[in-house]
Every structure is written in C-alpha cells, then in structure tokens.
C-alpha cells in the first residue's frame, strides 16, 4: 500500500525532527576566562589584586565581575557566574559601583535594584539587599550607605525624590533611610558628616544643583549646599576640601569641577577648566578625566588631568604620555594603585563591544591592556588573595 508507506515515511520524518528537538544541549554556566597579561607584575605593598565591575548594557543581565592577580599577572574575566552558579541570572543588570569594606566586596546593581555582598577572598555570594534604583556606596563605622534614585513616591508626584539607605554590615539589613535631593549620586564621608551629590537628571531641564549634608549620628539631612546643575562625583581630599563634579547639560553648560570647603560648607572654587566625568584621589594627586559630549556639535571632548590637592592647581593636562590616549574612545573607569602609582584607565568603546582596560606605569606609559566585560566601570583594589 503506497499510502500507508507514505504515512509511515511522514511519521518517521516527524519522529526524526522531534528527535532533534528534544535533545538540545544544555546551557552551561559561563566559565571564567583567564588571560596572562603581565607575568612580570608582582605584589607591591599589600595589594594582591583588584576587582573590576562591568556595567553591561541595560536590559541584558550582563553586569560582570573580573579579577586581576598581581602574583600571577593573570586577568580573569567573568568570575561571578562560575563561583556562584546558583545565583539566578548572575549579577544582573547594570553594575554601577564596587567597593570593599572589611572582608566583603559590595557591588551595586542598578537596574536589578539590589546590592550584592560577596566574600572578598572568594567572590562568593553572601547576601543581597534590595534597594530600588541604587547608585553608589559609602561606608562608615559598620554601616554601608547606598544612594538611590527611588525614594518615597508621595513626596513629589511628578518626580520621585532620592534617598540614602543605611545598611548594617553585620546582618545586611536596612536600618534606616534619609531623604536627600533628586537622583542622588556619589556619597562622600568626612568625619560625622555625609555629603551626597544630587543630579536631578530625571527632571531636565530643572536639574538638581545641590549637595545634601547629612548628620551621620542622627541620619538626617541638615541642609543643602548649592553648587551647580547635574552633580555626579564627590571626593574628599586630605586638606578639608570636597571635589564635586557637574556633568553640565550637554548643551551650553559644560562639565566643571567644584571645590567645597568642608569648614564653611560653601563653594570655595569653581574650576571652569577642569571638566570632570570621573576622578580618583591617590595621596594628594587627584586624577581627573573628562569625556564630554555636546548635543550642539555632536562631538566628544576627552581630557586627562592631575590636580595637586595641596595647591589646588592642575599639574598636568595629560597623564597618559605615550599616545595611548588616542586609542581610548570612551574613558570610563579610573584607578591608581596606591603603592606603585601605576594607574588604570578603562575604555567602554561603543558600549556594545567588550571594553578594554589599560594599565599605565606612573609616568604614563602603557604597560599592558586586556579585554574586559561590557562597559568596565569600577575598580577596587584588594589586599586579599582570591582563592
């Protein structure tokens, strides 16, 4: 019977297709990727290595953690998944800040709305703390402070006010929160006071332009210091000054650096010529880079400078001396090795390709470069060896 034969043939074909369908290979936990970048490096002082947090593109669960080991010169990409295979969707969406406090490594995962706490010597998960739209970290006396865009809804129905939450580092519980300005960013702590840079980026063109001052013992905002629009970074030096960056508005108002006198709590100096996307302090040297985009010209202006905090003057207008700066498309993270003064600048490139981390000797010559995850944003040096 021809018909029967053909029906059988169809059944076999269908069975074959279903056979393929049912045995798709599994989805493995992503392995880490070690790369030897500088076998001649060695441990200086007590710095054993550093962690690097990659933001990852929004909506893609691609926040990732990399590690560099000075004893071997090996850079390892993507260590979190392998060490924490049971953490659902790895680190999550958009890694915004990374800091070490005691023997814990803290990471702020912005769009997954939580703070991840890991063991600094194993990178293994310890705790998760839910904080809506969390941004940056600071620590003081056994407490972690996290700035967050999403404060209570009821205060301003048109734009949610921001807050800082206080987390007990012993049990990882939120113990208190304090309302600050709109869309708060970085936090600086000087003695018993906390300074929070408010951006107000969701309220364009009515940016926030203040630094909130919080009294730490009572955990209440005492007042605000008027600075400039769209504040972002805030770094204290060793001489009673706070350096604050304004992003500008990407049109006529440029990015600038402001100096606040902690004593008077007033703006002490406006540095028009020091555009500032990010900065880091090492001793009395403030490393500043800027990558400023203008909607008017549709162009980027990149600059690198070091400011001497003792004199308040810029000592160099380009700390990369070997021309590597021309190969960096979008500088995104900056860090200085506290002992050797080797410094690091990451390149986020087009934001959708993996980034690159460049290591420079203290005289600004490139030593090595390595591919990171997507959008390398934060570096934290550690004195513990990764087990």
Partner 1 sequence: MAFLFPAGGASASFRFTYPDSLGVYGNIDDTLNQVVITARNTHEIAPVQSLSGEKLQKLSTFSVSDALRYFSGVQIKDYGGIGGLKTINVRSMGSQHVGVFYDGVQITNAQNGTVDLGRFSMDNMEVLSVYNGQKSAVFQSAKDFSSASALYMVSRRPVFEDAKNNNWVFRGKTGSFDLGNVSALWEHRYNEHVSSSVNAEFLSTSGKYKFRYSKDGGYDTTEVRRNGDVTSFRGEAAVFGKHEKFDWFGKVYFYESERGYPGAAVKKDYGISLLNEDRQHDRNFFAQSSFTYSGNDFYSLKFQAKYSKDYMNYIMPPHSTVQPANNKYWQDEIYFSAAGLLNLTDFWSVNISGDYQWNRLDAKGSDMFDANFSFPRRHTVLAAAATSARLPFGLSAQASLLYTFVHDESAKDMEVAPDKSIFTPSLILSYRPWKKLGLEFRAFYKNIFRMPTFNDLYYVQIGNRLLRPEYAVQYDVGAVYRKSFQKGVLESLDLSVDGYFNQVKDKIIATPTSNQLVWTMLNLGYVEILGTDVTASIGLRFGEFLLSGRLSYTYQNAVDLTENKKDEDLGEGVVNVYGDQIPYIPWHSGSVTMNCVFRNWDLNYSFIYTGERYMLGGNIPVNYILPWYTSDIAVSRKFTFSKFGMKASLEVNNLFNQQYEVVKWYPMPGTNFKIVLIFEI
The nearer residue to partner 1, 241 or 337, going by C-beta atoms, is: 337
The nearer residue to partner 1, 237 or 325, going by C-beta atoms, is: 325
| Interface region with partner 1, contact rule CB under 8 A, candidates 13-21, 44-52, 265-273, 334-342 | 13-21
Q: Which pairs count as long-range contacts for 211-215, CB under 8 Å and 24+ apart, including other chains? A: 211/242, 211/244, 211/260, 212/180, 212/181, 212/184, 213/265, 214/164, 214/178, 214/180
80-119 residues in contact with partner 1 (CB under 8 A) are 81, 85-94, 109, 111-114
The nearer residue to partner 1, 175 or 204, going by C-beta atoms, is: 204
CB hemisphere CA count around 219 (13 angstroms): 16
CB of 173 to partner 1, least distance (A): 13
Q: 8, 12, 14, 315: which one contacts partner 1 (CB under 8 A)?
A: 14
Site for partner 1 contains 378 (CB under 8 A): no
| Residue 137 CB partners (closer than 8 Å, separation 6+) | 97, 98, 99, 106, 108, 115, 144, 145, 146, 187
CB of 252 to partner 1, least distance (A): 13
Site for partner 1 contains 130 (CB under 8 A): yes
| Residue 263 CB partners (closer than 8 Å, separation 6+) | 240
The nearer residue to partner 1, 269 or 322, going by C-beta atoms, is: 322
CB of 233 to partner 1, least distance (A): 11
- What is the C-alpha separation between 77 and 79, in angstroms, rounded? 6
- What is the C-alpha separation between 338 and 317, in angstroms, rounded? 21
Q: 12, 155, 175, 204: which one contacts partner 1 (CB under 8 A)?
A: 204
CB of 263 to partner 1, least distance (A): 29
Is 24 in a helix, a strand, or coil? Answer: coil
49-68 residues in contact with partner 1 (CB under 8 A) are 55, 57-62, 64
Query: CB-based burial of residue 372 (10 Å sphere; 0-12 exposed, 13-18 middle, 19+ buried)?
Result: buried
Site for partner 1 contains 78 (CB under 8 A): yes
Q: Which residues of 14-31 are buried (b: 16+ CB within 10 A; e: fewer)?
A: eeeeeeeeeeeeeeeeee
292-331 residues in contact with partner 1 (CB under 8 A) are 292-293, 295, 298, 300, 327, 329-330
- Contact mark string toward partner 1, 245..264, x via CB under 8 A: --x--x--------------
Nearest in space to 211 (alpha carbons), one of 224, 230, 192, 193: 224
209-228 residues in contact with partner 1 (CB under 8 A) are none
DSSP string, 282-308: ETTEEEEEEEEEETTTTEEEEEEEEEE
- What is the C-alpha separation between 124 and 380, in angstroms, rounded? 16
CB of 198 to partner 1, least distance (A): 9
Site for partner 1 contains 277 (CB under 8 A): yes
Site size toward partner 1 (CB under 8 A) is 102
The nearer residue to partner 1, 240 or 295, going by C-beta atoms, is: 295
Site for partner 1 contains 152 (CB under 8 A): no
């Amino acid at each position: 019977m021809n018909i029967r034969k053909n029906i059988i043939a169809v059944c076999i074909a269908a069975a074959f297709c279903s056979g393929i369908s049912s045995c798709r290979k599994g989805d493995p936990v992503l392995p880490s990727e070690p790369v030897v970048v500088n076998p001649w490096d060695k441990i200086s002082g007590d710095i054993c290595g550093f962690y690097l947090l990659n933001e990852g593109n929004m909506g893609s669960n691609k926040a990732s953690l990399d590690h560099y080991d000075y004893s071997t010169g090996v850079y390892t990409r993507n260590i979190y998944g392998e060490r924490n295979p049971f953490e659902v969707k790895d680190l999550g969406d958009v890694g915004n800040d990374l800091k070490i406090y005691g023997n814990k490594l803290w990471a702020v995962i912005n769009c997954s709305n939580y703070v991840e706490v890991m063991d600094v010597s194993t990178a293994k998960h310890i705790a998760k703390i839910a904080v809506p739209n969390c941004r940056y970290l600071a620590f003081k006396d056994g407490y972690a402070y996290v700035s967050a865009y999403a404060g209570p809804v009821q205060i301003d129905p048109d734009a949610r006010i921001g807050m800082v939450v206080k987390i007990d580092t012993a049990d990882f519980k939120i113990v208190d929160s304090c309302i600050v300005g709109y869309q708060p960013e970085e936090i600086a702590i000087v003695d018993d006071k906390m300074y929070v840079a408010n951006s107000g980026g969701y309220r364009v063109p009515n940016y926030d332009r203040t630094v909130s001052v919080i009294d730490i013992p009572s955990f209440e905002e005492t007042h605000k210091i008027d600075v400039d629009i769209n504040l972002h970074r805030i770094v204290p030096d060793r001489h009673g000054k706070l350096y604050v960056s304004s992003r500008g508005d990407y049109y006529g108002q440029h990015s600038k650096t402001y100096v606040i006198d902690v004593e008077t709590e007033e703006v002490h100096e406006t540095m028009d010529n020091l555009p500032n996307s990010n900065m880091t302090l090492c001793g009395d040297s403030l490393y500043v880079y800027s990558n400023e985009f203008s909607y008017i010209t549709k162009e980027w202006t990149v600059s690198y400078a070091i400011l001497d905090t003792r004199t308040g003057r810029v000592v160099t207008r380009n700390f990369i001396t070997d021309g590597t700066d021309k190969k960096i498309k979008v500088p995104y993270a900056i860090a200085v090795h506290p002992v050797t003064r080797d410094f690091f600048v990451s390149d986020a490139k087009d934001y959708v390709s993996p980034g690159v981390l460049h290591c420079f000797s203290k005289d600004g010559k490139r030593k090595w470069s390595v591919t990171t995850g997507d959008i390398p944003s934060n570096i934290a040096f550690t004195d513990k060896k990764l087990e």
